[in-house]
Amino acid sequence: MLGITMDFASPGGTIEISRALYSQHWHDDQVNRVWVRTRVGTERAAVRAAIVHDLGHKYTLHIFSSGDMVDYWVAQIRRGFAGVDVLRAVVFLVMLLGVADTLASGVVQRTRELGVARAVGVRRWQLKRMVLVEALVMGTLGLVLGSAVGIALGALWVLWTFPYLLGYVLDFHVPYAELGIVALMTAMVCAIAAVLPARGVARLEPAAALRYE
């Protein structure tokens, strides 16, 4: 036995052993996988063509490079998570409607208070800014809580669930760039959701608002 190495071909590592020693102890002379190492500068296409020419007529061969195998599994994983983009769009839509509804309800419930604020000299743009700040605060709280829960669930999946189901051990990386994009999109959605409630606040007339019950 030469040793055990970790590679993508096996989740538990690969035991490297001489062919003669393996046949001697396990009485198995069949081969179902062959790794071919090429010299630096060798064309993969030429090696593939030579193997097919020499052995293709005798055996049913599937020839992949290590990069091809990695790309295949990456594609399968991405295919499995393809629906996440749709769910992401649905989440942003629900957030847009939820924030807009919450802000609009808050404006209606505080009509008298807002009328008093207008009566004592608070300007329309200041009320608009107040509604916008409320929307951004709501979005920030949701983003912080959602990110914390998402990172925790991601760590649970990558570090424990995925190795348990498939055996492969993966490194866990926090997608900081994606988090930045999500934060920007959250701010945009909250700002859009605040447009109509802010306009409603700006149109309040102090006298009418004070008579509101």
Please tell me the distance from the alpha carbon of residue 146 to that of residue 91, in angstroms, as a whole number: 11
What digits encode the pLDDT tens for the residues 120-130? 888 888 888 88
Average pLDDT over residues 5-9: 56
pLDDT in tens, 74-108: 787 777 677 777 887 888 788 778 888 887 887 77
The domain of 72 spans: 38-80
What span, in angstroms and rounded, lies between the C-alpha atoms of 110 and 17? 77
Q: Verify that 176 and 88 share a domain, yes or no.
A: yes
Say yes or no: 114 and 199 in one domain. Answer: yes
Separation between Cα atoms, residue 20 and residue 18, nearest integer Å: 6
List CB contacts of 63: < 8 A, sequence separation 6 or more: 48, 51, 52
Same domain, 161 and 59: no
Residues 91 and 193 in one domain: yes
pTM recorded for the entire structure: 0.58
Mean pLDDT of 161-173: 73
User: What span, in angstroms and rounded, lies between the C-alpha atoms of 213 and 206?
Assistant: 13
Q: How far apart are CA 193 and CA 185, in angstroms?
A: 12
Task: Give the model's confidence band at 9: pLDDT under 50 very low, under 70 low, under 90 confident, else very high.
Answer: low
Mode of pairing for the β-strands spanning 10-16 and 3-7: antiparallel
Mark whether 22 and 57 lie in a shared domain.
Answer: no
Mean pLDDT of the 107-135 span = 80
d(CA 61, CA 58): 9
Domains identified in the chain, total number: 3
Does 141 lie in the same domain as 63? no
Please tell me whether residues 143 and 182 are part of one structural domain: yes
Domain identity same for 96 and 61: no
Residues 62 and 98 in one domain: no
Residues 93 and 197 in one domain: yes
Question: What is the model's pLDDT at position 157?
Answer: 81
Question: Distance between CA 18 and CA 10 in Å, rounded?
Answer: 18
pLDDT at 168: 67
